[in-house]
Structure 1
Amino acid sequence: MNTPATQHPCCVWDIRAQLGEGPVWSTREQALYFVDIVGQAIHRLDPASGAKASWQAPARPGFVVPVSDGTLVCGLKDGLYRLDPRTGAFERMLAIEPEHPGNRINDGCVDSRGRLWFGTMDDGEGTPSGALYSVTRQAHGLDLLRHDEGYVVTNGPGISPDGTRLYHNHSPAGVIYVFDLAADGSLSNRRVFARVEDGYPDGVVVDSAGTLWVGVWNGGRIERFRPDGTRLEPIAMPAQNVTKVAFGGADLRTLYVTTARKNTPDDVLARYPQAGSLFSLRVDVPGQVPHAFPARASDAQPG
């Protein structure tokens, strides 16, 4: 269980992004989206055809998630934006933390009830001004809730298959937290789930068996933890900064991995010249079926 079918990552887009992040699989399109935060770009790969597309964002993007109507929600530096990939037009949906101009949105995901979860962080990575939020689509518009705070750099969140746990990282501290997640979207009982040494825990994703997959910044690997916290064998990657994974393909058994070139010494880049690129490998246990953010309140699942 939870053993990769192959531990030889293949480069599927030699893009060499400064800060590749946030891979997410679109079931509707059978395509993968991801961002380059420093390059201020959103990228799309169609694995079947090999077609690639990119959009320049008006500000640094932290994440991108599919919407049920075929558009995208992007977490940019100062808020949530709608991107229509057909036109490349961005439209701001909701301002986030105008009182903290030094912050930016980082990682995000959508749960099975259509709630969007994301974190904010200090763009200078020195002040604990970041927080954890959720956004729900209501008939009157978008409801924003602040659930936790005191983060320098947030990463995750990730949701367990049964929807009762939410995982979230305080990356500089090397800590992965887990919360109890209620059906109404409230969080409680934050506790330490695991700690990562020799690097920092970056993005987290949970597969269909409940195993947590964690990119390790400055660690050159993916860490994996069972739901009880047991650490599994890590997977080495050809990049020092491994940011996040996503499960894709028709069977959700193709693991896509984003990486970064940012802050990588020249001697390490000489060993890993494709650092910052998008990689893939096959795994035995599939990921969870990805969820789209609802375009209308009627598309959301009841809480």
Structure 2
Amino acid sequence: MTGRAHSICDVGATLGEGPIWVARESALYFVDIKAPRVYRYDPATAKLEHWDAPGQVGWIVPIAGGGFLTGVQDGLYRFDSASGAFEKLCDAEPEKPGNRMNDAAVDPAGRLWFGSMDDSEESATGHLYSFTNGVIRDSGADPVIITNGPAIAPDGKTLYAVDTADRRVDAYTITAEGTLTEKRPFLVLDDSVQGHPDGAICDSEGGIWLGFFGGAAVRRYASDGQCTQTVEFPASNVTKIALGGPDGRDAYATTARKGLSKEQLAEQPEAGNLFTFRVNVPGISGTELKLDK
């Protein structure tokens, strides 16, 4: 099945990423890592707001009870959209100043999983972490150049970690202690698929949606690894989608202008914008971070 996405908001992001549907506000939040900014888009009014972040910001997730947590290059920050204030909670990787945060997800237990990457995209210094009760713990997943996802299965038992540079997705079993075991290959892409796998999410049936940077598309893979849907974009660099809206079937996708030449940008005037399309299977709603600290 093949569809096509259309632009709904002119953003012009250098590196749009991390879209997440916030059910309590019926709104979409996302980031432009390189700006660096946090954005809020209200589909009901088509209003776009933004706040400047204190450093390269890789992701944003809602906190149960109010507010947000963001992953900035030097650590984790609480963010208040009412005031626009960022409050640093803790360092993330002080021993790796060349790294930055890149993507994150909250599992059904309310635990955060987030990844880092080499900002120069050269060395395998990217790690995947869990964050519970104010403590960051290395997940035990293999280090890679660029971490993406992670995507969490609806039952909270499986995590899908994207290795963007090596064009593969691996599945891990999530332990009760917040570590990962039983690594197995889920998806290894060949030359028939254009682009590099980027951000990933799971829908309510356990299907995995992947953005393709340089591939002008997003694809849905069933839990057995078979591609069930492709949605094409008029922009090369598609980073990630979120599923939301009244019935959970509105898809919102971030894109990027990063790496495109002047000629490519002229051919892709909507690159960096926010896009939308409809899906058949709704997303997983209501997952918020449990934060005691």
Both structures adopt the same fold (TM-score exceeding 0.5): yes
Q: Counterpart of 1:289?
A: 285
Identity of aligned pairs, percent? Answer: 42
Please report the TM-score for the alignment, with normalisation by the length of structure 2.
0.95
Q: Is residue 2:4 matched to residue 1:21?
A: no
Q: Counterpart of 1:300?
A: none
Q: Is residue 2:153 matched to residue 1:160?
A: yes
RMSD: 1.4
Q: Is residue 2:254 matched to residue 1:258?
A: yes
CA distance in 2, matches of 1:94, 1:276: 31
Give per-residue Cα distances to partners, 1:67-119, cap 9 Å, x unaligned. Answer: 11221100000110001111111111110110010011110011110100000
Q: Counterpart of 1:133?
A: 129
CA distance in 2, matches of 1:198, 1:95: 36
The runs of 5 or more residues in structure 2 that have no matched partner are: none
Which of 85, 110, 123 is matched with 1:89 structurally? 85
Which of 138, 145, 152 is matched with 1:146 structurally? 138
CA distance in 2, matches of 1:8, 1:176: 24
| Aligned 8 A contact 2:128 2:138 in 1 | yes
CA distance in 1, matches of 2:257, 2:188: 24
Please report the TM-score for the alignment, with normalisation by the length of structure 1.
0.92
CA distance in 2, matches of 1:136, 1:150: 21
In the TM superposition, residue 9 of structure 1 has moved relative to its aligned partner by 1.7
| Bigger mean CA deviation after superposition, 166-175 or 178-187 | 178-187
Q: Is residue 2:95 matched to residue 1:103?
A: no
In the TM superposition, residue 51 of structure 1 has moved relative to its aligned partner by 2.2
* Matched length: 289
CA distance in 2, matches of 1:256, 1:233: 16
CA distance in 1, matches of 2:147, 2:291: 26
Letter in 2 for 1:165: T
Q: Counterpart of 1:188?
A: 181
Q: Is residue 2:112 matched to residue 1:119?
A: no
| Aligned 8 A contact 2:196 2:212 in 1 | yes
Flag the 1:261–1:292 CA change in 2: closer, same or farther, 3 A. same
Letter in 2 for 1:275: A
Give per-residue Cα distances to partners, 1:122-173, cap 9 Å, x unaligned. Answer: 1011011110000012xxxx12110124211110000011111100111010
| Aligned 8 A contact 2:4 2:231 in 1 | no
Q: Is residue 2:196 matched to residue 1:200?
A: yes
Q: Counterpart of 1:268?
A: 264
